[in-house]
Amino acid sequence: MLGQLHDVDLQLLRLFVSVVECGGFSAAQGELGLSQSSISQQMAKLETRLGYRLCSRGKGGFSVTPKGEQLLIAARTLFESIETFRHQSNGVAGRLIGEVRLGISEAVDQSVLQRVAEAIRRFRERDESVRIEVISAMPGEMERLLLRQRLDLAIGYFSQVQSAFDYHELFSETQHLYCAAGHPLFTDDAPSDAALAACDRVDHPYRFLRSDEPFQGKVCSARSEQVEGTLAFILSGKHVGYLPDHYARGLQDKGLLRPVREGELSFDVAFHLARHRAQVPGDAQKAFEEDLLAAFNPL
| pLDDT at residue 106, as a whole number | 87
Q: How many residues does the chain have?
A: 299
Give the pLDDT of residue 214.
Answer: 87
So what's the pLDDT on residue 204? Answer: 81
pLDDT of residue 100: 96
Report the CATH architecture of 7-93.
Orthogonal Bundle (1.10)
Question: Architecture of domain 99-299 in CATH?
Answer: 3-Layer(aba) Sandwich (3.40)
d(CA 296, CA 299): 5
pLDDT at residue 255 in the model: 96
pLDDT number for residue 217:
86
Q: What pLDDT, on a 0 to 100 scale, did the predictor assign at position 3?
A: 61
Q: Which of 11, 1, 12, 128 is nearest to 67 (CA)?
A: 1
**Torsion angle of the four alpha carbons 212, 114, 292, 151, in this order, in degrees rounded to the nearest 10:** 70
Q: What is the pLDDT along the chain (299 residues), one digit of tens a residue?
A: 566 777 888 899 999 999 998 888 888 888 888 898 998 899 999 999 888 999 887 777 889 999 999 999 999 999 888 877 876 666 566 789 999 999 999 889 999 999 999 999 999 999 999 999 999 988 888 999 999 989 999 999 887 777 889 999 999 999 999 999 999 999 998 899 999 999 999 998 765 555 678 888 889 999 998 899 999 999 999 999 999 999 999 999 999 999 999 999 999 989 999 999 888 899 999 999 999 999 998 55
Enumerate the domain spans of the chain: 7-93, 99-299
The number of C-alpha atoms within 13 Å of 29 and in the hemisphere containing its C-beta is: 8
Tell me what percent of the chain is helix, strand and coil, each rounded to the nearest 5.
45, 20, 35
In the prediction, which pLDDT does 159 show? Answer: 77
